[in-house]
Structures are given as structure tokens and as C-alpha cells.
Chains A and B, each alone.
Chain A
Amino acid sequence: MMQPIVDVPVERTMPNSESVLQNLTNPQGMDSTQRTRSLLNQALNLYSSHSKPRGILKEINAGAFCEIYSGEDLNEKKTPLEKIYPCAENLALFAVTIGEKLCKKISDLFQSNDFALGYVLDAVGSAGVEKAADYLQRYYFDRLADLGRAKPEAGVQRYSPGYCGWHISGQRKLFAYLQPEEIGITLNPSYLMLPLKSISGVIAVGPAQIHNFREEFPFCNGCLEPSCRDRSRSIAEDKNGQ
């Protein structure tokens, strides 16, 4: 039986400073300033002392997921996930957060006019929760592999309401099934998760090719978080590196 609540070690979610810097300092070809690097170091220390990453996982079969995925009938007409999940060998709903304490710290920094550190800490927190989700995804895959339910070459990918044509209102049914309130994540009437630095969705494990889809859906063009490919790559690289 899969353990539903996972305490994620903070050190496994520490963001890579270079990738955070890249996000913070995107002007073309510019090196980060010493001040920005110093702020980032402060923010990483604060992240380490203020975050408490936790996740929750609950396996689900394709039939039950179909009901959750339909949400409030507001999904895009065609979505990649509707083709992916029926082909997945294992599915698990998940939610992960880095906790309220860090979110409050960010808010406090802005309140005390420490805007720069607050802004950098916000970026660090966003990167940290993604790493926590990566950890949970990997945790699920490893447990499946241990149980002989997933092959080493399997494809593992996560999808979230609000992305890839899955309407954000899908959160309602996802929350009802998963109950992430157990780890302190709640949903507001706008389907916004609290603490803000939280991620929810479904992890689909199956033949790697099921996750390959052409980025020709209308919503792919306007996607501000085109990280689906990066995540696939990082998982592949991670496996290859073992």
C-alpha cells in the first residue's frame, strides 16, 4: 500500500541557484550583479529555515480519474491528458506544498519594505515547490518500481489543473478525492490553493511514448509554464544518470 503522506526533505527541494538567477535576471546575456547573488544567498538560507515541504499521494484508476478530470465540464475541447491517462499503467493524484511559514515570510518582507529579498524569496519558493513536486513524482515511481508495477524505462509525468487544457475548476473534484487538507492545503472558491506555494495534479506512469504529444493545442501557444518537456527531460536524464 502506497504511503499517502510524504515528508519531503528540505535539502532535496533546495532550488538550483543558477536556474533561479536565470529566472530573476533574464536581460540578454547579462551577468547577475553581486547584489542579486547576495540576495539569492540570503533567500536560499531563509528557504532552508522556513520551508516544510510535504506531499500527499493517492492512487486512482482510470475510470475514477475520468470522473475527476471531467471536473465542471470546462476543460478545453481537446486536451493531451484525455489521451494520456487511459494509456497510463498507474495514476496517482498528488498535492505538495512548502508550507505556510515561507509564504508568510515573503509577505512580511514586502510589508517591511524589504522588496528585493521578498521578490527573490518568492522566486526561490516557486522553484522549491517544483522541486518538491519532482521529489514526490520520483517517490511514487520508485515505490511502483519496488513493487514491480513500473518498468525502469517507464515514462513519468505530472499534469495539473489550470494547465494543458485541464480547467482549474477541476481542483474541486481533485480535492474531494485526495483531501490535501490533511497536509494543510486548502482550496478557495476561485480554486486557488493555500498556501500559495502548492502544486496539485495527477502523476501518470506508463510507456514513455504516451507523454509525447505535439504542442499544437491552442493553449500551448499561450502557455507561460512550458515546463512539460523540461520535466520529461529531467526525469529521463535523472534515470540515465543512475
Chain B
Amino acid sequence: MGILEEISENLQIGEDEKVAELTRQAIGKNISPREILDQGLLSGMNLIGERFKNHEIFLPDVLLSARAMYAGLDLLRPLMIQEGIPSVGKVVIGSVQGDLHDIGKNLVGIMLKGAGFEVVDLGNDVSPERFVETAIKENAGVVGMSALLTTTMPAMKTVVDLVKVKGLSHKIKTIIGGAPVSADYAHQIGADAYAFDATNAVEKVKALVGVS
């Protein structure tokens, strides 16, 4: 078994220390960071994502793999920056103003990173202006918003409207999610997409940025 395959296999069983060690070895063997990422880490995460989607494993299993993914990614990141390797895309995420629930938003961030996206996590209670200003500053293609309260949902519309007012609709796509939110609501406020869970969010964000 090749080292990249070993990385993938260990990632799938959530062996974070082993993944870090193998990634270190792969770097030492002068395998390019892109190859390690694509054929080791992302390959493993994609398989895990598929198994989760097919109801073969549970979310905690996916999260253990995600931790292993991060262990490898932390070692690769400086090399990728050094070599100017671009990410799949950049996404700004956060829980909207007034909302302090962040588990769902965290899961989306973890899954997006696991799919190779660069994620700027603004945390919770994020003002509409901060979402948009950060997206502009970071040159992000997507803004993802989460709300768990009916009282905080209107803040999503404010963000969508702000993107439009600034004439950035063609550059910055918006996606929303959270327990009280629906596809109808997304349509109603003019958001570009709605995701019902974290794995669905990855699929929708990929579609928004044109990645298969």
C-alpha cells in the first residue's frame, strides 16, 4: 500500500496521530502537497462523506475523520501557501446576529474544510456588515449563514440585501441553513441556496462555485 493510500485509510478510521505521522513522512519523501491533499486526505474524506451519505456511518465517525484530516492539513497548509496552491474556494460562515448557537455552523465549517474549501469562520452573533465586509476582504465566493431562532432569521435577509445593494451578487453567493430555515424561506429572501444539513451544505456550496 502506498503512503497516500495509507493516509486515506487511517483518516477513514479517525487515526489522527497516524495521519499526521504519515503526512510528515510523505512531505519528507518530497511528494507534492497537492498530491498528499488530493490523493491522501481529500480522497479519504470523500469516501467518508459518501459512506455517511449512504447511512453506513454516523456523524461522530465523520467528525473523528475530520479531526484526522485537520492533523494532516495543519502540516500541509504552510507548504501550500508557500507554493501558492489555491483552495477549492473560500467560504465565509457564521451564525447571524443575535444567534449564539454554533454547533450546526461548526459542522458545516468542518465538512467544507474536509472537502478542500478554505473557511473563514466568523463565529456567532455576526453582524450583516461583518459578513459582507469579510467576504469582500477575503475575496470569498460564498457567504454561509446559520440561524436557530425564528427571531434571528431576518438577519439573513439583511445580509442577502446588503450583497445586492453593493452590487456583488455575481461575485458573492449566499447560502442559509438552520432548524427554522427552509428552501422556501431561502427563495423568499433571495438567498442563492439552502442546505438542510452539513453534508448537503458542501454539495450546495460546490454547486454555487461550480466545483463538481
Contact = CB atoms under 8 A, between A and B. Distances in A.
Interface of A: 24-25, 27-28, 30, 32-33, 35-36, 39, 106-107, 110, 113-116, 118-120, 122, 162, 168-169, 188-192, 194, 196, 224
8 nearest A-B residue pairs (beta carbon): A190-B98, A27-B55, A116-B63, A115-B63, A25-B58, A116-B60, A116-B64, A190-B151
A119 B58 contact: no
Contacts of B102: 107, 110
Q: Which of B63, B66, B150 has the most C-beta atoms of chain A within 10 angstroms of its own C-beta? A: B63
B47 interface: no
A192 B98 contact: yes
Nearest to B57: A33
B100 A24 contact: no
A192 B58 contact: no
A35 B150 contact: no
Contact of A192 (B60, B67, B100): B100
29 contacts: A28-B55, A30-B56, A30-B58, A32-B58, A33-B57, A33-B58, A33-B60, A110-B102, A110-B103, A110-B106, A113-B67, A115-B64, A116-B66, A119-B60, A119-B103, A162-B149, A162-B150, A168-B151, A188-B98, A188-B100, A189-B98, A190-B97, A190-B98, A190-B99, A190-B149, A192-B100, A192-B101, A192-B152, A196-B100
Contacts of A39: 60, 64
B149 A122 contact: no
Given A110-B106, A190-B151, A119 B59 contact: yes
Contacts of B107: 115, 119
B67 A224 contact: no
Q: Is the interface of B mostly helix, strand, loop or mixed?
A: loop
Contacts of B151: 168-169, 190-192
Contacts of B56: 27, 30
A192 B99 contact: yes
Contacts of B177: none
A149 B30 CA distance: 79
Given A118-B106, A224-B179, 10 more contacts: A27-B55, A35-B60, A39-B64, A115-B106, A115-B107, A116-B60, A119-B59, A119-B63, A190-B97, A196-B100
B33 interface: no
